[in-house]
A and B are shown apart, each in its own frame.
Chain A
């Protein structure tokens, strides 16, 4: 028998369910966020996080120190000023391309084509610059090359999202296709397969150095900017009654950054100075870190990588996020390809080949970006590229055989992935409350 809802008495909830004391009291209230406004509280919280598996950049910094000690002990030229600036030059292209790869990994996809897409960018620019050919101004050739690589990212992304083909397969096809395009273009315009870049500005990208003075100016501006952002954030949080970084922590972090940056500038200035390309890489790092951590788009990137279904239900256009991410990867690959071409002052049939692809993906992963999506930061591209460049540089000084180099690089990659999966397990263990 159905009970007619119309006969329901017009009463409010408390009358129907009777006195409140029928329900036992809620769990005892625990106040939010015990404010760690002291240095001790802040450190304690950080250490709790580390023990719970929130390692952040800690393992890689420890790893870098170990690498520096090992290679420095084995061959003292590792510490020489000239080698330091070389290291900064060697990591630039890897770090640039790896920034794009971090975004792709964050949404839980992979892009195997980045190395050759970058090469297509470098070759396109070089061909447009040829004095006996198109002879475009440097900015037009550079801009067009970046448009080309970004469009390649767009096209690959459209196949991935609209046709539902896994990114692994699409970009694997892309790897072959763009490798072929590089071969076709370089052999068509040169019998030797090598095309030299004769534009001074483009060659200067990866071969010029800041004067000592400008090195200090940039370093000072960077540290001051960091301090301002930190203070601003803390002030706006306090204004809303939220917990904020204690002032003493900010001061210590600024001093720490100033010491590291100052030491780097001082050391580089004893040689040729800070390479211009390092400034370009840092600018890209700041730009994309901002995009990833401070913008709505960045938040959606993490959401798509963490739980695409949740993102969809929250009204996020998941396909649009995916497409933009592959376009970012194409753009950064193009820029990396330009840096690579500039550094070698030429492009050749083997541009983008070799271990470039493995290095950029390894850099992102070694830096702490998860292959499974949703976890990682842009800074991991830089730290990972620094590790890869240090190992390769150190082994080069030791005159190790290529085979040995590959084995050691592979072991470092494995160690990085192990650290990640062990810390993930710790987080999972903590998750089961």
Chain B
């Protein structure tokens, strides 16, 4: 058993009276794709936002490579090599691919003059390293890219900054068949490069194609952690809709303590 890249143990998060997460365990190994599935309101986004430092967990702890860490802000997460690629992508349409990949972290000479050729070179290396070769040019503005290409640029941007854990929030939600294919291939290549990848998806077909393990959340609790090779879509659907809860919301839990 290797030390997981990321491990959350017993993390909880409440928003007022709503218990969004209840003592969830979650882990990702380096080099694996972990899918995070569940119905709307199951707590997927809350879990990811906690890991990304957008709002800290109320209880439980998080370790990175076995070391207990405190993540209080996105900056902390970035320092630990955790990057989230959001659904709305956060790319500036009017800038080209290179400028977007280096946004906020531009390379300069003498402190303020952009070192364009060095950035362009690095952007191309990174994209080629990920076998993203469908872009015509790294000097193309992002506005002219397809959804799959934009997703690839957003992912490449995160990879370039030496992140070790990449969290993709619904990366294929708005994409066509061919573009979904491209993104899933890219996800696979990321894991092959020994990154940990968390993919949130509603599409079980995509999940089964790319994930190594599947964590199922239901009503803020983890109801299953399955290996893709040992499970079926029926089993996952069963867990999503009717997985056994350790704690029934609104009732005293097994220990008799109201959360």
Could you jot down 17 A-B contacts, CB within 8 Å?
A2-B25, A2-B246, A5-B4, A8-B29, A16-B229, A23-B209, A24-B181, A242-B124, A295-B113, A296-B106, A298-B114, A299-B114, A300-B104, A302-B94, A306-B94, A306-B95, A315-B104
Stretch at the interface among B11-19, B56-64, B133-141, B198-206: B133-141
Q: Which residues of B contact A33 (CB under 8 A)?
A: 136-139
Q: Which residues of B contact A18 (CB under 8 A)?
A: 229
Contact A314 B94 (CB under 8 A): no
Contact B99 A299 (CB under 8 A): yes
Nearest CB of chain B from residue A243's CB, rounded to whole Å: 8
Tell me, in angstroms, the Cα distance from A26 to B246 when the chains sit together: 42
Interface residues of B (CB under 8 A from A): 1-2, 4, 25, 27, 29, 31-33, 74, 89-95, 99-100, 103-106, 108, 112-114, 117-118, 120-121, 124, 128, 131, 133-139, 143-146, 149, 178, 181-182, 184-185, 188, 191-192, 209, 212-213, 222-229, 243-244, 246
Nearest 8 interchain pairs by C-beta: A314-B104, A306-B94, A306-B92, A374-B94, A314-B103, A3-B225, A315-B104, A307-B92
Chain B residue at minimum C-beta to C-beta distance from A316: B104
Q: Which residues of A contact B246 (CB under 8 A)?
A: 2
Q: Which residues of A contact B228 (CB under 8 A)?
A: 16-17
Contact A4 B113 (CB under 8 A): no
Tell me, in angstroms, the Cα distance from A13 to B222 when the chains sit together: 23
Chain B residue at minimum C-beta to C-beta distance from A373: B94
Do A16 and B227 form a contact, CB below 8 Å, given A32-B124, A306-B95, A310-B90? yes
Nearest CB of chain A from residue B172's CB, rounded to whole Å: 14
**In the assembled complex, A21 has its CB within 8 A of some CB on chain B:** no
**In the assembled complex, A132 has its CB within 8 A of some CB on chain B:** no
Contact A23 B1 (CB under 8 A): no
Do A27 and B182 form a contact, CB below 8 Å, given A2-B224, A32-B133, A294-B113? yes
Q: Which residues of A contact B136 (CB under 8 A)?
A: 30, 32-33
**In the assembled complex, A162 has its CB within 8 A of some CB on chain B:** no
Tell me, in angstroms, the Cα distance from A5 to B120 when the chains sit together: 42
Contact B25 A5 (CB under 8 A): yes
Do A433 and B133 form a contact, CB below 8 Å, given A16-B229, A296-B106, A299-B99? no
Max chain B Cβ within 10 angstroms of own Cβ: one of A296, A297, A431:
A296
Stretch at the interface among A152-160, A202-210, A233-241, A385-393: A233-241
Nearest CB of chain B from residue A425's CB, rounded to whole Å: 12
Tell me, in angstroms, the Cα distance from A33 to B98 when the chains sit together: 13
Tell me, in angstroms, the Cα distance from A315 to B106 when the chains sit together: 11
Q: Which residues of A contact B149 (CB under 8 A)?
A: 433
Q: Which residues of B contact A24 (CB under 8 A)?
A: 181
Contact B93 A433 (CB under 8 A): no
Q: Which residues of B contact A8 (CB under 8 A)?
A: 1, 29, 213, 225, 227
Contact A2 B225 (CB under 8 A): yes
Interface residues of A (CB under 8 A from B): 1-6, 8, 10, 12-14, 16-18, 23-24, 26-27, 29-33, 52, 236-237, 239-242, 294-300, 302-303, 305-307, 309-311, 313-316, 374-375, 427-428, 430-431, 433
Tell me, in angstroms, the Cα distance from A225 to B118 when the chains sit together: 23
Contact B103 A303 (CB under 8 A): yes
Do A16 and B209 form a contact, CB below 8 Å, given A1-B244, A5-B27, A307-B91? no
Do A13 and B192 form a contact, CB below 8 Å, given A297-B112, A299-B106? yes
Q: Which residues of A contact B27 (CB under 8 A)?
A: 5
Contact A23 B117 (CB under 8 A): no
Tell me, in angstroms, the Cα distance from A32 to B2 when the chains sit together: 39
Nearest CB of chain B from residue A308's CB, rounded to whole Å: 9
Q: Which residues of B contact A29 (CB under 8 A)?
A: 131, 133
Contact A296 B114 (CB under 8 A): yes
Q: Which of B89, B113, B138, B146 contacts A32 (CB 8 A)?
A: B138
Q: Which residues of B contact A237 (CB under 8 A)?
A: 117, 120
Q: Which of A236, A302, A433 contacts B144 (CB 8 A)?
A: A433
Q: Which of B134, B181, B227 contacts A30 (CB 8 A)?
A: B134
